Structure 1
Amino acid sequence: MARTRPLMIQIATGDTRPIVRQIVDAVRMQIATGELQAGDQLPSVRGLAQQLTINPNTVAKAYAELTTEGWVDSRQGLGLFVAPPRQRLSEAERERRFDEAVQRFVNDVVPLDATLEEVHERMDAEFRALAPRKTA
Structure 2
Amino acid sequence: MTMDFSRDKPIYSQLVDRICGDLIKGNVQLGDKLPSVREYAIESGVNVNTVQRVYKELEAMDLTETRRGQGTFITSDEKRIIALREEMMYQLADNFLTSIEALGFSKEEMVHVLQNRG
Q: TM-score range by the shorter chain?
A: 0.7 to 0.9
What is the TM-score of this pair, normalised by structure 1? 0.65
Q: Aligned match of 2:57 in 65, 75, 82? A: 65
Displacement of 1:51: 1.3
1:107 paired with 2:72, answer: no
Residues 20 and 61, structure 1, Cα contact 8 Å, conserved in 2 = yes
For residues 1-136 of structure 1, the aligned pairs below 5 Å read 10-12=3-5, 14-88=6-80, 98=90, 101-110=92-101, 111=103, 113=105, 115-120=110-115
Q: C-alpha distance in 1, partners of 2:2/2:104?
A: 28
Structure 2: runs of 5+ lacking an equivalent = none
Structure 1: runs of 5+ lacking an equivalent = 1-7, 125-136
Residues 24 and 65, structure 1, Cα contact 8 Å, conserved in 2 = yes
Q: C-alpha distance in 1, partners of 2:62/2:116?
A: 33
Displacement of 1:20: 0.7
The alpha-carbon distance between structure 1 residues 121 and 59, as it changes in their structure 2 partners (threshold 3 A), is farther
Query: How many residues in Structure 1 have an aligned counterpart in Structure 2?
Result: 110
Partner of 1:3: none
What is the TM-score of this pair, normalised by structure 2? 0.74
Q: C-alpha distance in 1, partners of 2:116/2:42?
A: 39
> The residue matched to 2:29 in structure 1 has which SS?
coil
Displacement of 1:24: 0.6
RMSD: 3.0
